């Protein structure tokens, strides 16, 4: 079902509401591998804390419509984790800490500041 404004209608119990279009989607790697695995994993390297920081910052901002934060499995560049990728821009960030989260959200949601020092190096393959 679609609303008069063209947004998808979603039912939650007895209530129908418009589902906002996703304008920014932050994927945070929280992957955990078994002990002894040859590759590191983002979860134990701080990925879970980064995800928690994103959810706190989203709450602090009043849950702006169209912004989604998702904990993900492996995003591939394991040696550079914790990793974050932001869509629709397709921007990849590496070695993110909870302290970096407000700046990343300001860059993408407010167009304020820069986070170039956090970008995943272009030489890193994502396949």
State the number of CA atoms in the 13 A half-sphere of 63 facing the CB: 1
DSSP state of 22: P
By three-state DSSP, how is residue 26 classified?
A: strand
Instruction: For residue 6, name the pLDDT band (cuts at 50, 70, 90).
Output: low
Residue 95 lies in a domain: yes
- Examine residue 12 and state whether it is found in any structural domain, yes or no: no
Q: Domain for residue 51, yes or no?
A: yes
pLDDT band at 21 (very low <50, low <70, confident <90, very high): confident
Total number of domains constituting the chain: 1
Q: Are strands 67-72 and 24-29 parallel, antiparallel or unpaired?
A: parallel
> Looking at the domain assignment, is residue 100 inside a domain?
yes
Residue 80: give the domain boundaries.
21-118
pLDDT digits (tens, 9 = 90+) for 52-104: 999 999 999 999 989 999 999 999 998 999 999 999 999 999 999 999 999 99
- Token representation of residue 55: 């959810």
Task: Examine residue 62 and state whether it is found in any structural domain, yes or no.
Answer: yes
- Domain with residue 69: its CATH number is 3.40.30.10
With a pLDDT cut of 90, the percent of the chain lying above it is 68
| Domain-located, residue 46 | yes
pLDDT, residue 7, reads 61
48 in Cβ contact with 32 (< 8 Å): no
Asked whether residue 8 is domain-assigned, the answer is no
């Amino acid at each position: 079902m679609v609303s008069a404004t063209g947004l998808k209608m979603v039912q939650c119990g007895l209530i129908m509401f418009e589902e906002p279009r996703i304008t920014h989607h932050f994927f945070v790697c929280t992957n955990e591998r078994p002990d002894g695995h040859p590759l590191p994993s983002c979860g134990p390297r701080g990925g879970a804390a980064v995800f928690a920081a994103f959810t706190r910052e989203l709450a602090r901002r009043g849950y702006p419509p169209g912004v989604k934060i998702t904990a993900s499995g492996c995003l591939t560049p394991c040696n550079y984790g914790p990793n974050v990728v932001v869509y629709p821009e397709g921007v990849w960030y590496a070695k993110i800490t909870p302290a970096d989260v407000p700046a990343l959200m300001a860059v993408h949601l407010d167009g304020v500041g820069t986070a170039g020092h956090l970008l995943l190096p272009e030489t890193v393959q994502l396949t």
